Amino acid sequence: SCVGEGTYGKVYKARNNESGKFVALKRIRMEGEKDGFPVTAMREIKLLQGLKHVNVVRLVEMMVSKGSVYMVLEYMQHDLTGLLSLPSLTFSQANIKSLNHQMLSGLAYLHRRGILHRDMKGSNILLNSKGELKLADFGLARVYHKRRKADYTNRVITLWYRSPELLMGETVYGPEVDMWSAGCIMLELFTTKPIFQGNDEIHQLETIYSILGTPRESDWPSLKDLPWYELVKPQEIRSSRFRDSLGRWLSPAALDLAEGLLFYDPVKRLSAQGALGTKYFLEEEP
C-alpha cells in the first residue's frame, strides 16, 4: 500500500517474500526525467549507503523494476507529526526525554560524519512501534567540511523549522541550522504543536521574535552582517517571553536545553553532542 509521498516519489509499504519482513519502498520517478537520474535522489542514496546508526533510517538495498528505481528502506510505522496530531495519544515525560535523546543522538552521529540534514521537521522523524526514533529523508542533506565553510543555499529547511540566520539570508552555515530545527522539534514534543508557525520569511521572523524577543547585537555580534538584515530587521524591540510561555510544559532543565538549542547566535548554539551532556539528560528525573 502507498504510505506517503517522499521528496521525489511515492513511498510504499511492502513485504519481502523471502524474509517476510516489512520494508518501505521509496519509488524514484524516472518518467519525465530528461536529465537522467535525479540528483537529489542520487545524493540521498550516496549518503544513506554510508550511514549506520540506530537513530538514522537504514537503506537496505536498491532495486530496479520495470523502469523504476526503488530505495528499499527499513519500515517505520509512524512519523512524529502524525503521532502528535492524535488527540488520544499523550507522551509521558520519560517518552519525551527518550525521543529527544534519540533525535539528538542521530544528529550527533550525522554531524560527526560531516553531514547536514537540512530538512529536520516532524514528518521526517520516523518512529516504529518499539518506540525507536530515526531521522529520515536525506533529499536535502549535504556533506559539509568542518574546516572550510562552503556557500550553500538558504532556501532549505521547511519554514517553521528554519533558523533566523537562514531567514536573514545566510549562505555560509554548518550543523547549527539543524540544531535550531531540533530545538523547535523538542518544544513540539512537549506542546504537540509547531512552536513558530509563520506564513512567509518575514512573518516567520516575527513569530520567533514574539516568543524569543528581538535579537540584540550584544548577543549576536555578526547580526548586522547578514545579507537581508536591513530588509527584515525588527521594527520594535521586544523582550523574551520564552520562559513564561513555555514554563508550564517544560521543567527547568528542559527549558535550559531548549534555550541552548534556540540561541540566536549560531556560534553559541548548542551542538548535538553538547545537548546530550546537559542536566536534562544527566541529572533531572525521569
Phi, psi of 201 (to 5 degrees): -55, -45
List Cβ neighbours of 194 (8 Å cut-off, separation of 6 or more): 122, 160, 161, 184, 188
Distance CA 73, CA 251 (A): 36
Distance CA 135, CA 146 (A): 21
CATH topology of domain 78-282: Transferase(Phosphotransferase); domain 1 (1.10.510)
Asked whether the predicted pLDDT for residue 31 surpasses 80, the reply is no
- The two beta strands, 125-127 and 142-143, are unpaired
Asked whether the predicted pLDDT for residue 203 surpasses 90, the reply is yes
Q: For residue 123, with 0-12 CB atoms within 10 Å meaning exposed, 13-18 middle and 19 or more buried, which class applies?
A: middle
Residue 125 in grid coordinates = 522523524
Segments making up each domain of the chain, as ranges: 2-74, 78-282
List Cβ neighbours of 18 (8 Å cut-off, separation of 6 or more): none
CB 277 within 8 A of CB 93: no
Asked whether the predicted pLDDT for residue 192 surpasses 90, the reply is yes
Catalytic center residues: 119
Q: Strand ranges (DSSP E) for 169-210?
A: none
Q: Strand ranges (DSSP E) for the chain?
A: 2-5, 10-15, 22-28, 59-65, 68-74, 78-79, 115-116, 125-127, 133-135, 142-143
Distance CA 46, CA 53 (A): 15
Summarised one tens digit per residue, pLDDT across range 205-247 is 999 999 999 999 999 999 999 999 999 999 899 999 999 999 9
SS3 236: coil
CA proximity to 56, closest of 68, 67, 47: 47
Q: Which pLDDT value is given to residue 149?
A: 65
Q: For residue 224, with 0-12 CB atoms within 10 Å meaning exposed, 13-18 middle and 19 or more buried, which class applies?
A: exposed
Predicted confidence band at 174 (pLDDT cuts at 50, 70, 90)? very high
Q: Which pLDDT value is given to residue 235?
A: 87
Domain 2-74 has CATH 3.40.630.30: no
Distance CA 86, CA 89 (A): 6
pTM of the predicted structure, to 2 decimals: 0.94
Summarised one tens digit per residue, pLDDT across range 79-107 is 999 999 999 999 999 999 999 999 999 99
Distances in Å between the alpha carbon of 12 and those of 3, 6, 28, 187? 5, 10, 11, 30
Q: Which percentage of the chain shows pLDDT scores above 70?
A: 97
CB 190 within 8 A of CB 246: yes
Distance CA 275, CA 269 (A): 10
Cα distance between the two ends of the chain? 39
